[in-house]
Amino acid sequence: MRILYVFGTRPEAIKLAPLIAETRKDSAFDVRTCVTAQHRQMLDQALSIFDVTPDIDLDLMQPDQDLPSLTSRLIMGVHRVIGEVQPDHVIVQGDTTTTFAASLAAFYARVPVAHVEAGLRSGSLDAPWPEELNRKLTSSIAALHFAPTEGARDNLLREGVRPDSVFVTGNTVIDAVAQIANAIRSDTALRSRIDRQLAFLDSKRPLILTTGHRRESFGPGLEAICNALAELARDEDVEIVYPVHLNPNVQQPVHRILGGSSGVHLIDPVDYVTFVSLMMRARLILTDSGGVQEEAPFLAKPVLVMRETTERPEAIRAGLARLVGTDEKAIVTEAKRLLHDPAHYASMSTGASPYGDGTASRKIAEVLRAAGPSPRDAGRRWPKAG
């Protein structure tokens, strides 16, 4: 059974890498990988960490790319690849523009789509934008839906997806973070390398790890986040590490407001191993990232989610994460509470994970194996390459 993975960003690579490895070791699968390079540099970091060498690299990223031109390039690029590879299934992950465009190209080629991390919903097309629409459209196309939680499964069923096409597997990001965390704990040489890389940190001071890059926060929202971090740096004896996304809409306000602030380290995006190490060292995490909302509870780290809503409500309901939006006062108040209230901190750092136990990739591979090759009957029309 020939399966074609299509992905283009660092989060997709991280979350698909364990599944790629799981299917590659199984003789039932003929595995092909195609990267679109929607985000070139950060994608390449993740590929090298997990030792994934793409079979096909479309290298579609352009400077200052907009969504319409990116989407059209993605559809045409994946269309050509499907014609050349002729897969039985196209596998996509999450909610990126690559995910939707690849799904649409597969649909036009009449190739079944398997959607990893299916069923996440915030309930608002504006947050996250455009990801909420991307995943809803992908769900309308996919033949197999791998939901990370029962809540995600329920979302799909409410939208009319056939129950026998939905499988609750956990999230493959837990497979990935568990693999990397175990390597950090067991590999002395790796740990020494990371220690040298992070030698600028004062291990005696609590570490607050921050990520913030979502489009809906550009402008006043991101400025409020930065002002909150500046206040925390002034008031608390903490270290703040902020790997700053490469988007100019993030770089400019972050460096303008936080550049030169004592105790605030603005660093370039780091590789996934270093990022997991930072999460493991952190006292608490402030983020608007979807993946970090899943990874941090598994690592027993409290999360303050700097968004107005989230498609990952399970950690919120379990008391392991808290929505604070981009409200400066709320961010500061909740961060200080975690720094000074041991009982509250303990309640948010149990190590319980609502997103799986690290076996999602194996479960997904079992479903794909059972599904078997898609029928190549007279009704199928393969697109011509080129």
86-100, 109-123, 154-168, 237-251: segment of lowest average pLDDT: 237-251
Q: Where are the beta strands (DSSP E) in 277-335?
A: 284-287, 303-305, 321-323
The residue annotated as part of the active site, out of 117, 216, 288, 314, is 117
Is pLDDT above 70 for 384? no
Question: Is 265 annotated in the active site?
Answer: no
Q: What is the pLDDT of residue 375?
A: 62
Mean residue pLDDT of the chain comes to 92
Question: Is 245 annotated in the active site?
Answer: yes
Q: What is the pLDDT of residue 18?
A: 96
All domains in the chain, ordered by first residue? 2-171+357-371 (3.40.50.2000), 187-347 (3.40.50.2000)
Q: How many CB atoms lie within 10 A of CB 93?
A: 29
Is pLDDT above 70 for 98? yes
Q: What is the pLDDT of residue 97?
A: 95
The residue annotated as part of the active site, out of 79, 115, 135, 213, is 213
The residue annotated as part of the active site, out of 32, 39, 215, 312, is 215
Is pLDDT above 50 for 377? no
Q: How confident is the model at residue 102 (pLDDT cuts 50, 70, 90)?
A: very high
The residue annotated as part of the active site, out of 12, 22, 88, 131, is 131
Question: Is 131 annotated in the active site?
Answer: yes
Question: Is 95 annotated in the active site?
Answer: yes
The residue annotated as part of the active site, out of 22, 95, 288, 334, is 95
Question: Is 80 annotated in the active site?
Answer: no
> What Rg do the C-alpha atoms of the chain give, in angstroms?
21
For residues 353-362, give the mean pLDDT.
95
Q: How confident is the model at residue 186 (pLDDT cuts 50, 70, 90)?
A: very high
∠ CA 159-168-276, rounded to 5°: 115
**Structure confidence by residue, pLDDT tens digits, 205-224:** 999 999 988 877 788 999 99
Question: Is 88 annotated in the active site?
Answer: no
Kindly give, in sequence order, each residue whose CB lies less than 8 Å from that of residue 347, ignoring residues fewer than 6 positions away: 319
For residues 319-338, give the mean pLDDT.
97
Q: How many CB atoms lie within 10 A of CB 377?
A: 7
Q: What percent of the chain has pLDDT over 70?
A: 96
